[in-house]
Amino acid sequence: MLIAFNKPMNVLSQFTSEGGWPGLADYIDIPKVYAAGRLDRDSEGLLLLTDNGKLQARIASPKAKLPKTYLVQVEGAPDEAALSALKQGVMLKDGRTRPAKVRAVPAPDLWPRTPPVRVRKTVPDSWIELTITEGKNRQVRRMCATVGCPCLRLVRWRIGSWSLEGLAPGEWRQMPENNRKN
C-alpha cells in the first residue's frame, strides 16, 4: 500500500504528537504504514507512506537519487547567478549539494497557509521550482539561504512521478506502488 498525504504546516512527519504539535495519526488511521522520508514541521506538501519496507527504502534512500520537486517562496528575486549556483550545487556546512534543477515560476495557485507567510512591504518575494536528488537536513532552505534568497514557504510537490495534484492539506489518497517513472 502506498499513500500520498498532503502534510499541512505544523504537523510532524511521525504518528505521535509531540510538543503540542499534531502527528500523522491525527489525519491517517491506517495501521502499519510508515513515512518514506520526512518533511520538517514548518514545511508542507507531499509525504509518502507505505507498509512496504522495500518501497519505503527505495523512496527514502539517498542512493536511489529519486527526484523531489519543491515549490519555494523566497525572499527577494533570485538572479541568474543565484539560479546558476543552485543548478551547479552549493557548498553547505555538511558538504556540496548535488546539482539541482531550478527555474523561476509564477506564484502557484496553492491553498492558503496557516499561519500565513509574513510579507514585508519593502522586500519582494518570488517563487522557484527546485528539484533535488538527495535529502540533507533542511537542504532546500539552506540552499536558498546560501544564494541570498531565504525560504518563506516550502511545499514539496512531487517525489519521482508521485504528485500532490488534487490533494488539499490534510487529505490523503492511495497511490499505485509500481510507477514506471520511479
Q: Tell me: the pLDDT tens digits for 69-109?
A: 999 999 999 999 999 999 999 999 999 999 999 999 999 99
Q: Which amino acid is at 139?
A: Q
pLDDT of residue 63: 81
From 119-128, 129-138, 151-160, the region with the lowest mean pLDDT: 119-128
Three cell numbers written together for 168: 488539499
DSSP state of 10: T
Do 144 and 83 belong together in one domain? yes
Do 40 and 74 belong together in one domain? no
Do 114 and 148 belong together in one domain? yes
DSSP letters for 95-119: EEPPP-EEEEEPPP--PPPSSPPPP
Q: State residue 54 phi and psi, 5-degree precision.
A: -65, -40
Q: Which residues are catalytic?
A: 40
Q: Which amino acid is at 50?
A: T
**Band of the pLDDT at 182, cuts 50, 70, 90?**
very low
Do 129 and 166 belong together in one domain? no
Q: How far apart are CA 4 and CA 143, in angstroms?
A: 26
Three cell numbers written together for 9: 504546516
Number of structural domains found in the chain: 2
pLDDT of residue 179: 62
Domain holding 50: CATH number?
3.30.70.580
Taken as a whole, the chain contains a residue count of 182
pLDDT of residue 64: 83
Do 152 and 86 belong together in one domain? yes
Do 92 and 148 belong together in one domain? yes
The residue-averaged pLDDT of 44-70 equals: 92
Domain range for 77: 67-159
